[in-house]
Amino acid sequence: YNTFPGNPRWKKTHLTYKIVNYTPDLPQKKVDDAIRRAFMVWSDVTPLKFQRVFNRHADIVIAFARREHGDGYPFDGRGNTLAHAFAPGEGLGGDAHFDDDERWSEYNKEVNLFLVAAHEFGHSLGLAHSNVRHALMYPIYKYVNPASFRLSEDDKRGIQKLYGRKSS
């Protein structure tokens, strides 16, 4: 695993997130559920807790966008770059953006929102890309069945280095 230079991380364990818009590819409930499950990937192995908020400030802001979308890192249409997220911090820090030119899916092998969101939230929490092929934080998208998804030891070691283990 890798962390970002300076090891940025949240100095609190209770984090808020906000979904500012939706992809037309999935019903809103499915998006909400995929996002919730993606945060659980990380809260299951650390003391972190995630709370969804509406109409107020959130640590992690989640948006679907196309091409240039105001952060200086434009998306590139269908394929190639699927999403990106920012390391922990104020402002854009922690925010996760998903390229809405992709075809987002819940179950099938087209770009699976849960898998990509879980990866992006790793960045939102302070993990950089891992060069371990089966790690969630490997930069290349690879479909695995979300129902049987398990966080790799590499990812677990990385996130627990930043936030510690979940107390039993």
Partner 1 sequence: FPAQLQQESQSNTAFENVKAYLDKFYPVSAQPKSLSLEDRIKEMQRFFHLTITGKLDAETEEIMKQPRCGVPDIAG
Among all residues, which ones are annotated catalytic?
Answer: 120
Could you say which DSSP state residue 133 is in?
A: T
Q: Is there binding between residue 113 and partner 1 (CB under 8 A)?
A: no
Sequence-distant (≥ 6) Cβ neighbours of residue 15 within 8 angstroms = 48, 49, 50, 51, 59, 60, 94
Candidates 31-39, 41-49, 120-128, 154-162: pick the segment binding partner 1 (CB under 8 A). Answer: 120-128
Q: Does 9 bind partner 1 (CB under 8 A)?
A: no
The residue range among 37-45, 54-62, 72-80, 160-168 that interacts with partner 1, by the rule CB under 8 A, is 72-80
Q: Which of 123, 151, 155, 162 binds partner 1 (CB under 8 A)?
A: 123
Task: Extract the tokens encoding 53.
Answer: 């908020």
Query: Which residues contact residue 94 at a Cβ distance below 8 angstroms, ignoring those fewer than 6 apart?
Result: 10, 15, 59, 60, 61, 85, 86, 87, 88, 124, 125
Single residue of 57, 72, 140, 147 touching partner 1 by CB under 8 A: 140
CA distance 20 to 16: 13
Closest to partner 1 by CB, 61 vs 85, is 85
133 binds partner 1 (CB under 8 A): yes
Binders in 27-46 for partner 1, by CB under 8 A: none
Q: Is 78 exposed, middle or buried (0-12, 13-18, 19+ CB in 10 A)?
A: exposed
Q: What is the DSSP letter of 146?
A: G
7 is an interface residue for partner 1 by CB under 8 A: no
Q: Provide the binding-site residues for partner 1, judged by CB under 8 A.
A: 2, 4-5, 73, 75, 79-85, 99, 102, 111, 116, 119-120, 123, 128-129, 131, 133, 139-141
